Amino acid sequence: MFTGLIEETGTVKSVFNKDGGKIIEIRANFSNELKIKESVSINGACQSVIEKNKDSFCVFTMGESLMRTNLSSLKTGDIVNLERAMRADSRFDGHIVQGHIDGKARFINSTESGGAKILEFEYNTKYIVEKGSIAINGVSLTVCRVTDNSFCVALIPQTLENTNLRFLKKGDEVNIENDIFAKYIEKFLSAKDNKTSKLSEEFLKENGF
């Protein structure tokens, strides 16, 4: 599990194809601290370390992950957001991020407002609500505006300076992980035996959801 608070940005050192997937090598400051099989979030996608040395580490990204994420388009020199899995004894911040990407959104536009940068993305907003949480390239953010096919988030300067979102250009694709609670709520509400369940839309509203 991750929090969506990026530890550092890394640089793609090399990428090559293997067995229908890709081996991606990333240069990162914490590489020497990693263990083989340890989970690392790369642009929000949970990946397992297969090799490492003092200044870089490698992951194998399988075909399924390449299809769903922007890891498929990574090339040497690209900047990626990195976060190691949350420690059990650490404080929880951000929001619950699994590292399981739901899809890719397309960057539309950015504007300035009150010292923040507003980023707009084209995406299916079925699971997105205003003031709800979302992870974009692994960054935990709060949604500030939603339409049927787009949403906006507001980034403070510190977030821009410490993530690869500052490099976005119109048309770029970003990885999206929807709030896990939204997906569970839909699952419960659409269950065939919902008539016998105490969980309902009215129950959720009464309890602050």
Which conformational region is residue 9 in: left (phi greater than 0), alpha (psi within -120 to 50 degrees), or beta?
beta
> Helix, strand or coil for residue 188?
helix
Closest CA to 143 of 157, 123, 166: 123
Angle in degrees, CA 127, 144, 91, rounded to 5: 80
Mean pLDDT across the chain = 89
pLDDT: which is higher, 37 or 188: 37
Q: pTM value? A: 0.86
pLDDT in tens, 19-31: 999 999 999 999 9
Answer yes or no: are the C-beta atoms of 68 and 101 closer than 8 Å: yes
Q: Cβ contacts of residue 51 below 8 Å, gap of 6+?
A: 25, 36, 57, 58
Which pLDDT belongs to residue 1? 82
CA distances from 65 to 5, 33, 58, 145 (A): 21, 25, 15, 28
Which pLDDT belongs to residue 203? 58
pLDDT in tens, 88-146: 566 666 677 889 999 999 999 999 988 899 999 999 999 999 999 999 999 999 999 99
pLDDT: which is higher, 198 or 52: 52
Which pLDDT belongs to residue 86? 79
3-state helix, strand, coil in the chain (%, to 5): 20, 40, 40
> How many Å is the Cα radius of gyration of the chain?
18
Angle in degrees, CA 179, 184, 189, rounded to 5: 130
Structure confidence at residue 198 as a pLDDT band (50, 70, 90): low
Q: Which range is least confidently modeled, 33-42, 114-123, 163-172, 196-205?
A: 196-205
Answer yes or no: are the C-beta atoms of 118 and 110 closer than 8 Å: yes
Q: Cβ contacts of residue 42 below 8 Å, gap of 6+?
A: 10, 24, 26, 59, 71, 80, 81, 82, 138
pLDDT reading at 187 higher than 90: no
pLDDT reading at 200 higher than 70: no
Which pLDDT belongs to residue 91? 61
pLDDT: which is higher, 40 or 183: 40
Which pLDDT belongs to residue 100? 94
State whether the Cα torsion 103-81-170-157 is positive or negative.
positive
Average pLDDT over residues 70-96: 84
Which pLDDT belongs to residue 205? 58
| Domains of the chain, CATH where assigned | 8-84 (2.40.30.20), 103-184 (2.40.30.20)
